[in-house]
Amino acid sequence: MYVFSIKISKLIAYLSEIAYKNPVRSALKPVQTLIQQAVDTVLPPRCVITGDIVDRQGMITAHAWSQLNFIAEPQCTKCGIPFEFESFEGMTCTACLDREPPFETARAALKYDDASRDMILRFKHADQIHVVLAFVPWMEKAGAEMLAQADYLIPVPLHRWRLLSRRYNQSALIAHALSRKTKIPTLVDGVLRTRATEVQGYKKAVERHKNVKKAFAVNPKRVEQIKGKNLILIDDVYTTGATVKECAKTLVKAGAARVDVLTLARVVRDDLDF
Ligand SMILES: [Zn+2]
C-alpha cells in the first residue's frame, strides 16, 4: 500500500510538471488546462508557507505573504544588497568596491530568511511548483531595470545527475514563468554545467568560489546567439554569489554584451563574506 501511494504521488507530481512547467503550443492548451484541473482536484494547491489550501490565483495566504521580507531601496547599485541607512545615488557596498563583480547588476525580490526559506525549500524539494506563478510579479518588480533591456533569460543549470534526482531545475521553472509573462525568451541550455559540484550548503564563501570554479561553460550551440546580447541569469537564491559570478564570467568571456542576475531571494547576513 505504501509503495502504491508513493507511485500515485509520483504520477501526480509528474502530471503537475506537465501541467505547469512548459509553455505549450496553443493547440495543446485545452489539454494542458484539463490536466491542470485534474491535478488541482487530486492535489489542491497549498500555500507553501502555511500549508493551507489556496486557489491558483492566491497561491500564498495573506498571512504568509505578510511574513515575507521584500528587498527595497536603499541598496547597493551593483549587487543589490539592502543598506540599513540612507545612501546616495549610485552607491555600492564595500564588497563590490573591493572587487567588482563580473555581472552588471544583481537583484533579488526577497530576503532569504525563515519565511522565504520554507517557501523555497518546498518549491525545490516538495513538488510545490505551482507557487512559481506567485514569484513572477515579485521578480518583475525587483528586476524591472534589467528586464527592460534583456534579450534572453538564462537559468543557472543543474548538473544532470542532480537533475535526475530532483527531476526539475527550479531555476529553469522560474525562468520559464518569467519568460511567459515578460515575453523575453529563455535560453534554457545557454550555460552548461561541465562537472558535478558538491552541494554549496554549509560551505564558506571562499570554499563556495573554489567549488564552482570552471564548473560552467557556454553551450557551443548557443555561442553565436548570445554574442553581443544582454542576458539575465536566473536562480532561486543568491547566497555568496559564487555560482552566478562564475556563470556570468563564462558568458562575458563568450561575448555577451551584458550579464545581470535576478534571483527570487538573497542572503543578506553580512557574516557570510560577500
Ligand atoms: Zn554590492
* Tens digit of each residue's pLDDT (9 = 90 or more) over 44-66: 666 666 666 666 555 677 777 88
79 Cα to the center of ligand 1, angstroms: 4
Q: Please report, for residues 2, 15, 112, 167, 186, the alpha-carbon distance to residue 50 in angstroms, rounded to integers and kept in the order given.
A: 26, 24, 17, 25, 31
129 Cα to the center of ligand 1, angstroms: 31
111 Cα to the center of ligand 1, angstroms: 15
Backbone angles phi, psi at 155, to 5 degrees: -75, 145
**What kind and span of H or E run contains 230?**
strand 230-238
Give percent of the chain with pLDDT exceeding 90: 47
The verdict on pTM exceeding 0.85 is: no
* Tens digit of each residue's pLDDT (9 = 90 or more) over 200-223: 666 677 777 777 777 899 999 999
81 Cα to the center of ligand 1, angstroms: 6
Name which of 134, 24, 170 is nearest 34 in CA terms: 24
SS3 233: strand
**Mean of the per-residue pLDDT values for the chain?**
82
254 Cα to the center of ligand 1, angstroms: 24
Q: Which residues surround ligand 1, an ion (CB under 5 A)?
A: 76, 78-79, 93, 96
What is the torsional sign of CA 219, 225, 229, 233? negative
192 Cα to the center of ligand 1, angstroms: 26
Across the range 10-16, mean pLDDT stands at 58
* Tens digit of each residue's pLDDT (9 = 90 or more) over 130-148: 788 889 999 999 999 999 9
21 Cα to the center of ligand 1, angstroms: 33
